[in-house]
Amino acid sequence: LPMLAPPIESHHAVLAALDDASAARFVQLRLPTLRVGMGGINNTKGDAADFRWAMSAFRAYGVTKAEVIMWLLREGRDVCMSDVDAAWIAPPHGLFHSLPEADVLAGTDCLSIEWDADRSARKNSVARCGHHPGSTWSAFFNTGVMFFRANPHALEIAGEWRDRMAAVRGEGMIDDQLTFNQLAGTVRDPRKGNKETIYPIKAARPDGRVIYDGTGRRTLAALPADVICSAQAYHIFQSSQPRACLVLHLTFVEGWPKNPAKYWRLREAGLFPLRPEPFDGRYLSFTPPQPGPVPPERHPSLLDPTNPSWRKPMP
């Protein structure tokens, strides 16, 4: 895997495997592996089948993710957690240390690189990009790439996140991302109404890159859209060039899991190491089959003046 290849492998990365088969394969490949279960990190039974749209199973996965984060935080370790559809290009330590005021840092679904880069105070916003001070809407976080600082506030957030997911019942469309945004105050929370809303966004440091959550005590950082890169940013806006991207998170890729679109995007980016195709950075390339002999314009018999069907060519 790209994120575990030298020289990044010395930076304490580990794969969390949800089933025995994956865990055994990772160990066989000599990759650092943590075996976890869908019911919690101490549960050795898990279901490796695709469960993205089975909400109860997906929330169980979210509970497991939160418990792993809590376990690491209690050991005094800062945590960077990414979903399986993310490919790391470079280590994230510099980004994490550049925002020391933030308890939790996460990517977003913002698709306007220019708007996202401006974190000055203003009321107006565009969809998915309302993370600047003064914004009154659309400050949604994406939980596919997250950082938790080893401090009491981050542990509190992870614990509340875990408890919220565990408390939901049924197959309603409530997943780990929605519950995180509910506790952060970016969307309406049925538990609290609008009593702990994040809006209007309040800056936790002068440049607006760290903000307060709905409690007004804990701090969050919405990471730049050209650093935590969606597939839209990486492949469309940047023509498959990494530029400032530390990680490619394959959001805005349609058709999953019924077609291998996310695999295709990883291969186009040169970040899928299994049997990669030749790729020049922008286009897939291949060697076309060579044509056989070119057939005559007409059948030879039609060129024979003695043939009754022969017609003299027009001048």
Residue 205 has a CB neighbour count (10 Å cut-off) of 15
In 167-218, DSSP assigns E strands to: 211-212
Q: Say whether pLDDT at 256 is over 90.
A: no
Place of tokens 């049925």: 190
Which pLDDT value is given to residue 121? 97
Confidence of residue 315 (pLDDT cuts 50, 70, 90): low
Alpha helices by DSSP H, the chain: 20-28, 55-74, 93-97, 113-117, 152-167, 176-184, 231, 261-268
d(CA 56, CA 70): 21
Q: Which two tokens stand for residue 251?
A: 């959001």
- Of these ranges, 85-99, 214-228, 246-260, the one predicted with the greatest mean pLDDT is 214-228
H or E stretch covering 247:
strand 247-249
Which of 240, 235, 250, 236 lies closest to 88, judged by CA?
250
What integer pLDDT is reported at residue 220 of this predicted model? 98
Judge whether 110 and 128 are in contact, CB under 8 Å. Answer: yes
> Using 50, 70 and 90 to split pLDDT, how confident is the model at 282?
low
What stretches of 96-218 adopt beta strand conformation (E)?
Answer: 104-108, 141-148, 211-212
Least Cα distance to 264 among 286, 241, 227, 235 occurs for: 235
Q: What pLDDT band is residue 180 in, cutting at 50, 70 and 90?
A: very high
- Judge contact between 193 and 133, C-beta under 8 A: no
Place 268 in a pLDDT band, splitting at 50, 70 and 90: confident
* Predicted structure pTM score: 0.83
Span 190-247, pLDDT tens digits? 776 667 899 999 999 999 999 999 999 999 999 999 999 999 999 999 998 999 999 9
From the list 169, 168, 164, the residue with the least C-alpha distance to 184 is 164
- The 3-class SS string of 37-66 reads ECCECCCCCCCCCCCCCCHHHHHHHHHHHH
Residue 45 — very low, low, confident or very high, per pLDDT cuts 50/70/90? very low
Query: Quick one: pLDDT at residue 47?
Result: 46
